[in-house]
Structures are given as structure tokens and as C-alpha cells.
Amino acid sequence: MGARDRLAELGITLPSVATPAAAYQPYRVTGSLVFTAGQVPVVDGRLPLTGKLGRDLDTEQGIEMARVCGLNLLAIAQEVSGDLDRVRVVKLTVFVASDPSFTEAHLVANGASELLGEVLGDHGVHARSAVGLCVLPKDAPVEVEAVFELVD
Amino acid sequence: MGARDRLAELGITLPSVATPAAAYQPYRVTGSLVFTAGQVPVVDGRLPLTGKLGRDLDTEQGIEMARVCGLNLLAIAQEVSGDLDRVRVVKLTVFVASDPSFTEAHLVANGASELLGEVLGDHGVHARSAVGLCVLPKDAPVEVEAVFELVD
Amino acid sequence: MGARDRLAELGITLPSVATPAAAYQPYRVTGSLVFTAGQVPVVDGRLPLTGKLGRDLDTEQGIEMARVCGLNLLAIAQEVSGDLDRVRVVKLTVFVASDPSFTEAHLVANGASELLGEVLGDHGVHARSAVGLCVLPKDAPVEVEAVFELVD
């Protein structure tokens, strides 16, 4: 079963690639690698939740927001490849806006990691860093960037 | 018009590559990729401004400091390539020292992004992440790292 | 003298690759590049120290913890290459859990950088970013990720 079928089975419709909030592009390709811009959990152009984990949002909400970031990364993967089965995830970096007492950035990050695994199968398995930031642009709760590989 | 002419038109003289503050090098080349060290806005060996955005510095000052980081990245690009027209910017990561209430890291980051566009033209267009950090080395207000591609 | 001899001379026994705390893998290979997951200073599955630099830990303790992160990166390098002499360090990103007043992330990061230099020699020389984070997963004091290159 390919990525397209898994998306259908999961009932997921990919969004459009989010328009960057500033002077940059959503992704750049170099050789077989794709470096993406950091994706915040925008849905139809707005952030459904803002604020910091451990203060304004709980871990479950953070996981859901990280999943939306993952969805926005998949939109990039689709656009750059034309075929999600040609995309392998190499690395994610997950920035979690956190109260200094919040020590579960790695659990929040799973929201993105697990979505990529569900949709891309073996190609979704990646290395990852997850860290707690004091604040993100526009008070977003999570920001996720990826390095993808385009495969034949 | 090439990068050298644009630098002249902008009245920009590239600085020397900044000496790292610790046990590392300013950049490493692997294949056609160049990974740089994080550049803080040093000018002639010192930071003209220190502190956190949203507390000690305002957004305009942050933009100016990010622009200096971009200048230091261009110095690396010149040194590694010998010819700025051979350098394409793939990715920037912009770390902005921020008060937890400061939600404009993406605007600060434009200081670096726009300089690279002004000097490198189409080759300056990049993917980017911008995040708010609680503190940076030596109390620097901004730190920017890049992935460059060397092109023929 | 190769990396194996230098490890022996330093009295270092490489640990096993640490099991990720969540839904990801310790590293992924793409072409000649290896992207690692962020490594926290786990020793035998637990963190010997937790908390933030400048509040709970001093710079010396941070350096020691960064060195353990470097050791965990070497374990990955050994596993992925089968021969440490085939591994070149391209880039480190060092995330230091910091009180907002702690401005020595670059000194803490030297704990990882210097270990890699001691063990890998010229191949251990890398570009680096070091930044202060408000909090890390499981209250780890330091997290370090690497980009390695596999050489012949």
C-alpha cells in the first residue's frame, strides 16, 4: 500500500503548502535532499492554538499541534516530489514552545513523528531532535522542520 | 549583475570570517554542501548589542543584528567559494534571544534573509526556521547558521 | 594512530547506542551523510544530572554532560560506520538547558567538541552552533545532534 492509499485510509486530505510568514520559501532542494522551512501548525492560514506547553497547553494539545505541523510537512513533501512514495524522511527537528518546567517536548514531538510513520511507512522513520523553546513566532506552540530525501 | 556588483551597489564591504569563540571551525564542506557554524553579530570582534528581544532590544534592533549575522555568513560564503556567484543558500536557522513574550522572531530573521537576497539574488532564496531562545552565547541577541550549496 | 587507539589511550569504552525515548531512530543515512538524533547525556539508560545551567548546574558540570553526549554520538558513529576512522564530523548543534542569565553555552558545548577532536583527530573538527534552551526533554541539561560524513 502506498502513501496515497494510507492517506485515504486515515481520512487525511493534504492541505496546501503554507505561505511563509516572512522572506523565505517553504523548501529548497539540493541534490537528493530537501530542506524545509520550520512549519507551525497553521490550518487554513491561522493557528488553532497558541501559547506554551506546560502553561497554556497540555501535552495532548501539543501532540495534536505537532501532528498538524507534520501534515504541513507532508504537503511540502507532496509538492516537491509529486508522489509521496518518492519521499523519505531523514531528520526532524521539533521546537516546542515551553514553560521552563515542561519536560515532555519528546512526547509532543511524537505527534509529528507518528503521522509521518503512518503515512509514509518505512520511509517515514527518521532521526529527530526535540527541544523546549521559550517562545515561537506568532506565539505558535510547536514548529517542526524536516530534511527529506527524494528516492527513485 | 553578479554578487560582487550588488555588494558594491549596496556599499557593503565583507568582513573577515569571524574567529570561533570555542573549539570548532566556521564551516565545513561535504560534497557540494557547506554547513556553517552559528554566526552571532560580531563586528570587528565584538557584539555591538547584547540582550534579549522584547526586553533589552526592539524588533528593529534585532533585524539590524540579524543583518550583521547575514554579513558574517556572506564572509564565510566568499571564503569557501572564492566567488559568491557560486554560492546558493539552501537553509537558514535563526535563533533569536527572546523574552518569553516576544513573538516576532520571524521578523527579526528577515534581517538576515533579506540581506542574502539582496546580495545573492535568486541564489539567496532559502528555506528557514526562526525560533525564540532564552539566551545565546555571550548574551548575543541573534545567532544564524546556514546550509549553502556550491554550484558551478 | 587511528580512532580505536586514541579511544584506548583515553581509556574510553564506547557505550551502546542509546534507545530513543520516543518514536524515532538514533540516526539515518542519506548518501554519504548521517543525520543523528539529538543525544542527551544518558549513561546506562539514565541521566546522571538534570536541570538548567546557571541555576542547577555550573559550567564544569555542563561540560562534563556535553562530553557524555559526545560519547553517545561516537557510539552512533561506530555503529553506522563499523570503523570510526571512516567518520568525519561535519556539524554539531548543541542545545544547552539554561537559565536566561547563563551566557556560556559555547563553553559547555566544548565538552562535546573536544571529545570528538580527541578521538577522531582531524576528522573530528566541525562547524557548530550552541544555543541556550529554556528546557530539554526529561529535564536533560544538554542535547547534542550531529551531521557526520562517511569517508572512504
pLDDT digits (tens, 9 = 90+) for B48-77: 999 999 999 999 999 999 999 999 999 999
Whole-number Cα distances in Å, A6 to A9, A118, A141, C45: 5, 7, 27, 35
pLDDT at C124 over 90: yes
d(CA A69, CA A144): 6
Tell me the nearest-neighbour CA distance from B20 into chain A, angstroms: 24
Percent of chain B with pLDDT over 90: 95
d(CA B134, CA A97): 11
pLDDT at A3: 95
Q: Which CATH superfamily is domain A3-150 in?
A: RutC-like (3.30.1330.40)
Size of interface A-B (CB pairs under 8 A): 94
Of B25, B100, B136, the CB nearest to C127: B25
pLDDT at B22 over 80: no
- Under DSSP, the state recorded for B16 is P
Q: Is residue B137 packed enough to be buried (19+ CB in 10 Å), middle (13-18) or exposed (0-12)?
A: buried
Of A101, A127, A129, the CB nearest to C28: A127
Confidence at B133, pLDDT banded by 50, 70, 90? very high
What average pLDDT is seen over chain B?
96
pLDDT at A141: 98
Q: Rounded mean pLDDT of A62-88? A: 97
pLDDT at B146: 98
pLDDT at B121: 94
Predicted confidence (pLDDT) per residue in B99-118, tens digit: 999 999 999 999 999 999 99
B122 CB-near residues (< 8 Å, 6+ apart) = none
Task: Mark yes or no for CB contact B129/A52 under 8 Å.
Answer: no
Contact B119, B7 (CB under 8 A): yes
Predicted confidence (pLDDT) per residue in A129-145, tens digit: 999 999 999 999 999 99
Cβ contacts of C31 on chain B, cutoff 8 Å: 31
Confidence at C1, pLDDT banded by 50, 70, 90? confident
Confidence at C21, pLDDT banded by 50, 70, 90? confident
pLDDT at C2 over 80: yes
pLDDT at C148 over 80: yes
Residues of A with CB under 8 A from a CB of C: 31-33, 88-93, 98-107, 109-110, 113-114, 117, 125-134, 147, 149
pLDDT at B30 over 80: yes
pLDDT at A21: 75
Tell me the nearest-neighbour CA distance from B150 into chain A, angstroms: 10
- Under DSSP, the state recorded for C53 is B
Please state which CATH class domain C3-15+30-150 belongs to: alpha beta
pLDDT at B23: 80
d(CA C118, CA C144): 17
Task: Mark yes or no for CB contact B135/C98 under 8 Å.
Answer: yes
Tell me the nearest-neighbour CA distance from C57 into chain B, angstroms: 16
Confidence at A43, pLDDT banded by 50, 70, 90? very high
Longest CA pairwise span in chain B (Å): 45
Of C124 and A152, more confident:
C124
Percent of chain C with pLDDT over 70: 100
pLDDT at A117: 96
Task: Mark yes or no for CB contact A127/C37 under 8 Å.
Answer: yes
Task: Mark yes or no for CB contact A131/C35 under 8 Å.
Answer: no
Predicted confidence (pLDDT) per residue in A8-19, tens digit: 999 999 999 988
Task: Mark yes or no for CB contact C91/B35 under 8 Å.
Answer: yes
Of C22, C143, C145, the CB nearest to A107: C22
Confidence at C126, pLDDT banded by 50, 70, 90? very high
What CATH number is given for B3-7+39-150 in this structure?
3.30.1330.40
Cβ contacts of C109 on chain B, cutoff 8 Å: 22, 24
Cβ contacts of C95 on chain A, cutoff 8 Å: 129, 131
Task: Mark yes or no for CB contact A106/C135 under 8 Å.
Answer: no
Longest CA pairwise span in chain C (Å): 45
Radius of gyration of chain B (CA): 14
